[in-house]
Chains A and B, each alone.
Chain A
Amino acid sequence: MTLVLQSVEKSLENVKDPEIDSVSIIDLGMVEHVEVADHNAYVALLPTFMGCPALEIIEKNVREELLKVEGIQTVQVKFIYSPPWTSDRITEQGRERLKEFGIAPPPTQVETTGEWHVDCPYCGSTYTTMDNIFGPTACRSILYCKSCKNPFEAMKPVSTM
């Protein structure tokens, strides 16, 4: 791996989700492919939810961040649909950072009935209820913890099942 490519990949960790500023697009598993050739960086990203207004901001931020890398003069960013983004692409680190932000990471276990459960990101209690499967952004749901009495958000599980 060339040094420039390494720097490019490292820089992508600085591109955060505009709506969750502790989590990078690497943490979210949105970066599918990175290539460097002739001072051009090409990045293929997987959109999380298609109607998400953050996508354009992310595209712009990737471009700006990579133009800071020494040896990079042009940047191409493309959103691709295959493979589809699924919530199990979120890294271990991403899951931890989501919790720090007060958002429960997506459940890894979804029952065959489509039912799923998340624990409270604040106190860890399992005594939680779903208020609304849809939340303030396309990727989140709204829940309530009956133990610590806090409302909280959780990332929706997204799969191709």
Chain B
Amino acid sequence: MKTLEDVKANGHEEALRELLFQLADDDFIVAYRGSEWLGLAPHIEEDVAFSSISQDTMGHATMYYQLLEDLDAGIANDLAHGRMPEERRNAILLEEVNGPGHYLEEPRYDWAFAVVRHYFYTQAKKIRTDSLQQSSYEPLSHVAIKVNTELYYHLMHWKTWFKQLITIPGEAQERMLEAVSKVLEDMDGVLTLGPQAEQMAQAGLIEGEALLRKRWMNEIESMMDSCNIQVNLEPQMKRGDGRALTHTEDLNTAIETLSAVYRQDPAAIW
């Protein structure tokens, strides 16, 4: 399938849009949370690295919103900034604040949570993107190939942090293990493809959810083994399914902040 007409003729329009909204909204919100670390990261090299990764990730969201625009779902900029929180398909884990406090006033952000959330998400994104390279929708497979060239560096980065912190006995390891338990409570919200997962797989847009989840489990298990860490790896969806439009207050405040400039003048050229 190469065009909207092909997709329509095959009856896969709804499943394709749903998948693209998940991909776009996930990257959009996690890039925003990442960019909130600017100036607060543990050292200056990390400030540079994390903001570069967040910028790439926002670029990936842009491509997915552009694919939606090509499918007549609306203008990319409006899709990114103009949609209400209750219309968004991102996983709840990705909208969560970085920690207590406010960016401008006494931010008490949790670096262990950042490392675990971004590593677990980036690994899931890698597995998903690898699968999308064979997507039956050709424009999506092209975007996936492009995303993967950049994702290579992101995954390497988070693996390095994860390994280094979780293998240091004492406070580092304790806080990392705590963060692992916390992230796992909502991780299945990232791994799920939502209510239309089956239609997506049947259309050949992406492989089945169970298979992708298994691959993610294998990767994380082998990382844990190499770090000599025993963890009960059971990703859950405690706070609900973002793919099915369930969200928390954290998403409301995030959207309100990040779309403030857009709302002042939606027609402005940036």
Contacts and interface: CB of A to CB of B under 8 A. Distances in A.
B60 interface: yes
Contacts of B72: none
Chain A, interface size: which category? 20 to 34
A10 B139 CA distance: 31
12 contacts: A50-B56, A50-B62, A51-B57, A51-B62, A82-B142, A84-B145, A132-B45, A134-B153, A138-B52, A138-B59, A138-B150, A160-B145
B149 interface: yes
Interface in B118-156: 139, 142-143, 145-150, 152-153, 156
B149 A84 contact: yes
B48 interface: yes
Interface centre among A47, A51, A156 (most CB of B within 10 A): A51
A49 B57 CA distance: 10
Contacts of B153: 133-134, 156
Residues of A contacting B: mostly: loop
Contacts of A49: 56, 59, 150
Given A82-B145, A114-B156, A134-B52, 9 more contacts: A85-B149, A132-B45, A133-B153, A133-B157, A134-B48, A134-B157, A135-B48, A138-B59, A159-B149
Interface centre among B52, B58, B143 (most CB of A within 10 A): B52
Interface residues of B, number: 26
A81 B146 contact: yes
B49 A160 contact: no
Contacts of B55: 51-52, 138
Given A81-B142, A82-B142, A135-B52, A51 B149 contact: no
A135 B48 CA distance: 6
A131 interface: yes
A52 B52 contact: no
Interface in A111-136: 114, 131-136
A81 B145 contact: yes
B59 A132 contact: no
B63 A81 contact: yes
B6 to A, nearest CB: 16
A40 interface: no
A86 B149 contact: yes
B79 interface: no
Contacts of A134: 45, 48-49, 52-53, 153, 157
A158 interface: yes
Q: Please name the 3 residue pairs, one residue from A and one from B, whose CB atoms are nearest each other, closest first.
A: A51-B59, A50-B59, A134-B49
A8 to B, nearest CB: 26
A138 B56 contact: yes
A93 B82 CA distance: 44
B49 A50 contact: no
A114 B143 CA distance: 22
B53 A50 contact: no
A156 B58 CA distance: 19
B26 to A, nearest CB: 15
A86 B142 CA distance: 14
A52 B157 contact: no
Contacts of A132: 45, 48-49
